[in-house]
Structure 1
Amino acid sequence: MPSPIVFIVYVNDAPEAARFYADLLEIKPGFETPRYITFDLGGGAELALWSGHAEGLTPEVRRTSEVCLVLTGGPDVIDRRFEQWVAKGVRVVSEPHDEAFGRTFVVTDPDGNLIRVAPVD
């Protein structure tokens, strides 16, 4: 059995970020403290939001990674998700377009962390 894996996203305010991700991904946190909140993604993977030991991280700090949500169903599904998220008020970095791996777009969370939507490989 493989070991669980946790993807940590540094945020300024963990509860605020958790509300954003819960609404955006339509999931509920599985573990919550004031500075560290996780979401069970299934298959032994979790998304963690952590506001501890992140001195100097502000929305202006350039992020070097991204969270990627992969969807089944083709380009129309990607475009519909984009429209749903824009209606929620996300900041758009890259509108839907075609890449070598398929249809994709990128938005940010309130701290500037990148969130990509792409098709399942």
Structure 2
Amino acid sequence: MGFLTDSTHLHITTWVIALILFFIAATGITKSKAVHMVLRLFYILVLVSGGALFFQWRVNYEYDIKFLLGILLIGMMEMILVRQKKNKPAGLFWALFAIILFATLFYGLKLQMGFDLF
């Protein structure tokens, strides 16, 4: 499992692709169900790569917060897509998505395995 925990490249790649797929699905560029299904596959890949990093590098409570924020972010992404598909308002979920995305990126970059931006 060294390829999962040696660096954050795999994890970052999976969540960047997941975000791109999410915005494609959310904006309705394509009405295909395939984009949403591939996005769900990337949810799993993000969770597996993030979980491996979590269990390898967890040293304090900040990793627990980052893990929880990551799961909440995936939940918000799915809630937005499902509510839009059912033509229900998703404004609250978009706001929560933006806040949680910012907090997740902040924690991810701030932790030891993250980039030295802060």
Q: TM-score, normalised by structure 2?
A: 0.28
Q: Which has the higher helix share?
A: 2
Q: TM-score, normalised by structure 1?
A: 0.28
Q: Which has the higher strand share?
A: 1
